[in-house]
Structure 1
Amino acid sequence: MNILVTGGAGFIGRWVVKKLLDDGNTVTALDNLSNGSIENIEEFKGENFKFIEGDIKNKDDLDRIFEDKYDIIYHLAASIVVQESIDDPEKTFFNDTVGTFNILERAKKQMFGQHGKMNGSIWNIDENDEVYPCKVVFMSTCMVYDISGETGIDEQHSVKPVSPYGGSKIAAENMVLSYFNAYKLPAVVIRPFNTYGPFQKSNGEGGVVSIFLKNFIDNKPINIYGSGKQTRDLLFVKDCADFVVNAGYKSEVDGEIINAGTGNDITINELANLIAGKKVSVNHVEHIHPQSEIMKLKCNYSKAKNLMGWEPHYTLEEGIAETKSWLASTIK
């Protein structure tokens, strides 16, 4: 298959690209490199992989990208930093919501043609249009949810956007599902829980596991925002990439919202102590934007298991060990 991955040079994007290439697909990665990097994808150079630097908000870039036809579009490009979305909501909205609309429009045009019209629920395709079927996989986030109970969050759980990031993602989700329902464009919304692993940034834009591990390796104190009693369901990136890719392969999930996580959560205090051991100190610092914090996140992934046959394979300890080894190897 010929596949497009937006945000393909990002942390999760590069692992999705790798999985797709390992499966024998031809892959084009689109990224504006605002968060991703060429170093993430340099190992993929070859006849089955192409990288295009461009932006999902730029019409000319999208014209260039959609000169090709794609069987699946994995739409991962987004502004992803929750705290940044509070400080700069306009950037997040245009990247995450408007950018998603742009991708949906291009997918609709590819599948039904520039001049295609709906008559009731039936598409009338203009014979002069070159059309090609495709599917859109939209990556949302667990950060759209309200606080979890002990049984975990399933897809029927209430949503409660506590940041413009969460609000922008919910708006984009609704656009994706509207294109499935209104236009019959094959699409699925996926909500991975907090993902970590090799190639994730370990600075302020990175994830909590990578930041804590980098401080441990550098023999620096680990700082926790707030009380540290907030919990996260931590999904290793290889499990996440397997989930993302298979959501594109499986028609059973079209029109659905699907979670992915481990079904286990850990407090940030427990995570910090697990990583720090007795080598570095653990401190609590004032939370920058406490209103954006969801105090308990725990996934119920039974829908993914039932519809896709997916479940995670890495334990937290295994994932941390592999991430730590990778981070140590990057220090020069």
Structure 2
Amino acid sequence: MKNSILITGATGFIGKHLVKKIPNYNMAVDQNGKNIDLRIRKEVLKIKRADIVIHLAGKIPSEKNYSKNIFFEHNILGTLNILEYCVKKKVKKIIFVSSYVYGNAGKNPINEKYEIKPHNTYTKSKVLSEELCKIYAEKYKIEIIILRPFNIFGNLQKDNSLISNIIKSIKNNSHITIINKNNKRDYLFIDDLIDAIIKLINYKCKFEIFNIGSGKSYSFENVVQLFEKKNKKKIKRKYKTSKKNSIPKIQADISKIKKEIKWNPKYTLVEGIEKIIFKNTK
């Protein structure tokens, strides 16, 4: 008998892609607040029991909420209630998709042992959620995997990231604003992240943390240029500089996840961009 899976945040960017890729599982799917509020414990505890929980739900940064305490209310309380659900329902495993948590690490590539330096309220909420996961794993012997994605990109993305803004620019023929154009980030195509999550469903452990990215980094300006090259059209842009929470370079060390679950990124940044352009211009 196959495992039943509860996916929180199933209507979000990652959730929509994940649901498409695991249709053979008997899933209990939470619609990220549309039919249940993860902040209300009694509502969470009404959810039908699942063998495995993939916890994606939570507030993400935007221009409107980036510095507000909304992250603590939704992300930490939501995670705590999901953990309580797992205890009450005797869930076998949790896969918690966290975030990049290392701030300005100084050295690259960044492995899982690097010092945690939350650089904004959102990241702090994810770090505290991770701590809750660790406590519950130790106290209740729940198998928990924490996944720390770097910069995930792909179709259906609607956040305030560089690539989301580039896609909007292409569709609307509008300009984008690039802050600190030479800063570099590690970009991983959404299909590769989904592939890793699916592999982790069958990975046995007590408590593990994995970084996930491509293992390569590209400057913001370089990413825009790649879109221009593949779309054969110039992108209007304005440049700004800012020292606030500025991180010059981020690059993931993905050696641990590659070794443990025999996973490798299948898509380069260019190949991911090609798939996005094809989807948004056909």
Q: TM-score, normalising length from structure 2?
A: 0.91
Contact 2:28 2:50 in 1 (8 A): no
Query: What is aligned with 1:11?
Result: 13
2:46 counterpart (52, 64, 69): 64
Cα separation, 2, equivalents of 1:267 and 1:279: 17
Residue 29 of structure 2 corresponds to 29
CA distance in structure 2 between the partners assigned to 1:222 and 1:276 by the alignment: 13
Report whether the alignment pairs 1:164 with 2:166: no
What do you get for the CA RMSD once the two structures are aligned?
1.9
Once residues 279 and 86 of structure 1 are traced to their aligned partners in structure 2, the CA distance between those partners, rounded to angstroms, is 30
Q: Does 1:262 align with 2:192?
A: no
Instruction: Go from structure 1 to structure 2 and tell me whether the alpha carbon gap of 1:73 and 1:15 turns closer, same or farther (over 3 Å shift).
Output: same
Cα distance in 2 for residues equivalent to 1:206 and 1:81: 7
Query: Post-superposition shift, 1:282?
Result: 2.6
User: In structure 1, how many angstroms separate the alpha carbons of the residues matched to 2:151 and 2:223?
Assistant: 13
Q: How does 1:86-125 map to 2 (within 5 A)?
A: 86-88=66-68, 90-111=69-90
Q: Does 1:187 align with 2:141?
A: no
Change (3 A) 1:240 1:215: same
1:119-158 paired onto structure 2 within 5 Å:
133-142=91-100, 144-148=101-105, 151-158=108-115
Q: 1:82 to 1:280 in 2, by over 3 A?
A: closer
SS in 2 for 1:87: coil
Counterpart selection for 1:306 from 238, 249, 259: 259
Identity of aligned residues (%): 30
SS at match of 1:256: strand
Q: Which amino acid aligns with 2:259?
A: N
Task: Look up the match of 2:196.
Answer: 243
Amino acid at match of 2:174: K
Instruction: Describe the superposition over 1:61-84 as per-residue Cα deviations: whole angstroms up to 9, x where unpaired.
Output: 31331xx22111001001111655
- Does residue 198 (structure 1) correspond to residue 155 (structure 2)? The answer is yes
> Which has the larger Rg?
1
Unaligned regions of 5+ residues in structure 1, if any?
A: 34-51, 112-132
Q: How far is 1:218 from its partner? A: 2.9
Residues 156-175 of structure 1: per-residue CA shift (max 9 Å, x gap): 11111110111110000011
SS in 2 for 1:107: helix
Query: Aligned partner of 1:319: which letter?
Result: G
Cα distance in 1 for partners of 2:138, 2:63 equals: 33
Distance apart, 1:308 and its partner CA: 0.9
- CA distance in structure 1 between the aligned counterparts of 2:247 and 2:200, rounded to whole angstroms: 26
User: How many residues end up aligned between the 2 structures?
Assistant: 277
Deviation of the 1:108 alpha carbon: 0.8
| Preserved contact between residue 155 and residue 279 of structure 2 (Cα < 8 Å) | yes
The amino acid of 1:313's aligned partner reads K
User: Structure 2: 5+ residue runs without aligned partners?
Assistant: none
The normalised TM-score by structure 1 is 0.78
TM-superposed deviation, 1:284: 0.7
Once the two structures are superposed, the pairs formed by residues 199-238 of structure 1 within 5 Å of their partners are 199-201=156-158, 205-225=159-179, 227-238=180-191
